[in-house]
């Protein structure tokens, strides 16, 4: 199709030809008149200098349109729309195969639940370690009291203090026994039920994938007249399904292992550690009773020294207990960090799954669908085009740098259509591009023109138009 500059040249040539024809027909007598008329026209144009309108070609475009593409590649699992469908913002258009990511999501959820359970356990150990500090401080107090009593000799108040120390030792025994009971009760009904649920879910997923894999293996057949067996699902589908089965089997084994550990109860090491506190408390009671006996019998220098050593040992016990608190605090922080890591991994997997779904960004109409089920969609490659066809705009295609300076936002425009020659519409310039382009070797600038109500006209996307812009 001829552009505006070409049309201007044709019009100029036609005008020159017509002028020559008039001169030839009028002869010599017409020549002076023509010269006089030319001089008059030149004088008139020089005096008026009225600006000429700007002419250009344009193209009909929707109010808004967008080519949608996936951020990540993958196999197209489902196409929900067809060309011409009306969609709303947020509607799913195309879905990629996210089977691997969904398996990873299940595994991530299991890891997060395990990490959260580890935090609860670490916090319980921290509370126990803090209680041990309090116990150690009580032991120091008791040991110092014993030393005071033994050094002062047997007095009624000292005897009473020794007896109170025995009571304190009994309290320590009760406390240690309670801590032992709590430490050995590592398996709870809720934890077992949760572990059993994870085992059931993992085994159910494994059965589904194994059935799918068996269907692939058993799907081979020999076509009529053929000598060789054909296995249509062998290749990438079989390999992918086999990898999914292996992952599901590992997940089921891990879930069963976790359940077995819970059902096994406390380990020998846990039992020994829990019983150690009771033994220590009982030993402290025996010491308190021995101290009372020493007070009643009168202490020797050796006995005084022994009590002094007991005081030092009790003080050392405080430091050991405080070190245990620090270790328990570090374990809590480590467990909490594991939860943060698991949450971040889970969020990353969820975000990756979200990228496997293409949704409509606004209300509109599907202009084109460029992918099919089973096709490999590449990242960044347009998959679906969506446009708002509730109204139309005109975008110029050949407005040169010489003419764009005469155009302003708000300028009135007359628009005609190749496809609808009987209609001329009025529009308004709404946008002038700041950056140029190249069209047929010319530097051009795109100008956007708004139209009024065109609902009664058969306008279509991509129609060619001619625009006549009032020059400034």
Q: What is the pLDDT of residues 119-178, one digit of tens each?
A: 999 888 888 888 888 888 888 888 888 778 667 766 777 678 888 888 888 888 888 777
Task: Tally the domains of the chain.
Answer: 2
- 12 and 125 inside one domain: no
- 152 and 215 inside one domain: yes
Contacts of 173 (CB under 8 A, 6+ apart): 278, 281, 282, 285
Taking Cα atoms as reference points, which of 400, 387, 379, 380 lies closest to residue 447?
400
In a domain, 451, yes or no: no
Using the predicted structure, report yes or no on whether residue 49 has a pLDDT greater than 70: no
- 39 and 106 inside one domain: no
Q: What is the pLDDT of residues 418-460, one digit of tens each?
A: 899 888 999 999 999 999 999 888 999 999 999 878 878 899 9
Using the predicted structure, report yes or no on whether residue 368 has a pLDDT greater than 80: yes
In three-state secondary structure terms, 25 is helix
In a domain, 36, yes or no: yes
- 19 and 168 inside one domain: no
| pLDDT at residue 154, rounded to an integer | 65
- 125 and 22 inside one domain: no
In a domain, 420, yes or no: no
Give 228 or 432, the one with higher predicted confidence: 432
Between CA 164 and CA 220 the distance in angstroms is: 86
- 21 and 148 inside one domain: no
In a domain, 333, yes or no: yes
Using an 8 Å Cβ cutoff, are 135 and 314 in contact? no
Using the predicted structure, report yes or no on whether residue 87 has a pLDDT greater than 70: yes
Using an 8 Å Cβ cutoff, are 358 and 70 in contact? yes
Cross-strand partners of 357: 95
In three-state secondary structure terms, 200 is helix
CA angle 61, 67, 73 (to 5 degrees): 170
In a domain, 382, yes or no: no
In a domain, 247, yes or no: yes
Q: What is the pLDDT of residues 19-43, one digit of tens each?
A: 444 344 444 443 344 434 444 444 4
Instruction: Report the range of poorest mean pLDDT among 69-83, 105-119, 294-308.
Output: 294-308
Final residue belonging to a domain, choices 303, 325, 354: 354
- 312 and 199 inside one domain: yes
In a domain, 243, yes or no: yes
Using an 8 Å Cβ cutoff, are 180 and 277 in contact? yes
Between CA 412 and CA 403 the distance in angstroms is: 15
CA angle 253, 255, 260 (to 5 degrees): 90
Q: What is the pLDDT of residues 377-424, one digit of tens each?
A: 889 999 999 999 888 999 999 999 999 999 999 999 999 998 998 889
- 109 and 193 inside one domain: yes
Asked whether the whole model's pTM tops 0.85, one would answer no
In a domain, 140, yes or no: yes
Q: Which residue has the tokens 């009590």?
A: 307
| pLDDT at residue 81, rounded to an integer | 94
Domain encompassing residue 135: 101-354
- 130 and 247 inside one domain: yes
Using an 8 Å Cβ cutoff, are 174 and 135 in contact? no
- 23 and 111 inside one domain: no
Cross-strand partners of 387: 65, 365
């Amino acid at each position: 199709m001829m552009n505006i500059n070409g049309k201007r040249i044709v019009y100029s040539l036609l005008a020159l030809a017509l002028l020559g024809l008039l001169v030839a027909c009028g002869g010599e007598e017409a020549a002076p008149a023509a010269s006089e008329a030319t001089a008059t026209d030149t004088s008139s144009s020089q005096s008026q200098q009225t600006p000429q309108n700007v002419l250009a070609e344009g193209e009909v475009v929707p109010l808004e349109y967008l080519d949608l593409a996936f951020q990540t590649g993958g196999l197209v699992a489902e196409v929900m729309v067809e060309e011409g469908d009306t969609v709303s913002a947020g509607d799913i258009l195309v879905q990629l195969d996210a089977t691997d990511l969904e398996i990873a999501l299940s595994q991530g959820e299991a890891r997060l639940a395990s990490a959260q359970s580890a935090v609860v356990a670490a916090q319980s150990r921290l509370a126990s370690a803090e209680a041990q500090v309090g116990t150690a401080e009580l032991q120091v107090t008791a040991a110092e009291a014993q030393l005071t009593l033994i050094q002062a000799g047997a007095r009624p108040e000292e005897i009473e203090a020794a007896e109170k120390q025995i009571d304190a030792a009994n309290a320590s025994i009760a406390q240690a026994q309670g801590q032992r009971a709590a430490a050995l009760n590592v398996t709870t009904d809720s934890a077992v039920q949760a572990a059993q649920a994870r085992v059931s879910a993992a085994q159910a997923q494994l059965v589904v994938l194994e059935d799918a894999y068996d269907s692939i293996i058993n799907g081979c057949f020999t076509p009529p007249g053929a000598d060789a067996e054909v296995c249509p699902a062998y290749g990438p589908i079989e390999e992918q399904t086999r990898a999914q089965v292996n992952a599901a089997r590992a997940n089921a084994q891990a879930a069963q292992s976790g359940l077995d550990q819970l059902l096994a109860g406390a380990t020998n090491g846990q039992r020994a550690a829990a019983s150690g506190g009771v033994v220590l408390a009982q030993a402290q009671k025996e010491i308190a009773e021995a101290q009372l006996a020493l007070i009643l019998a009168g202490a020797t220098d050796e006995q005084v020294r022994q009590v002094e050593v007991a005081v030092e040992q009790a003080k050392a016990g405080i430091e050991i207990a405080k070190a245990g608190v620090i270790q328990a605090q570090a374990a809590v922080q480590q467990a909490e960090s594991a939860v943060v890591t698991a949450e971040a991994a889970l969020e990353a997997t969820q975000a990756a799954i979200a990228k496997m779904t293409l949704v409509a960004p606004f209300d509109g109409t599907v202009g084109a669908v460029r992918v099919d089920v089973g096709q490999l969609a590449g990242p960044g490659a347009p998959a679906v085009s969506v446009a708002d066809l509730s109204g139309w705009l005109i975008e110029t295609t050949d407005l040169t740098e010489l003419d764009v300076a005469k155009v302003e936002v708000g300028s009135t425009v007359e628009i005609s259509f190749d496809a609808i020659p009987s209609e001329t519409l009025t529009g308004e310039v709404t946008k002038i591009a700041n950056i140029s382009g190249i069209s047929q070797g010319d530097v051009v600038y795109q100008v956007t023109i708004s139209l009024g109500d065109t609902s009664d006209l058969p306008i279509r996307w991509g129609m060619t138009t001619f625009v006549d812009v009032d020059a400034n």
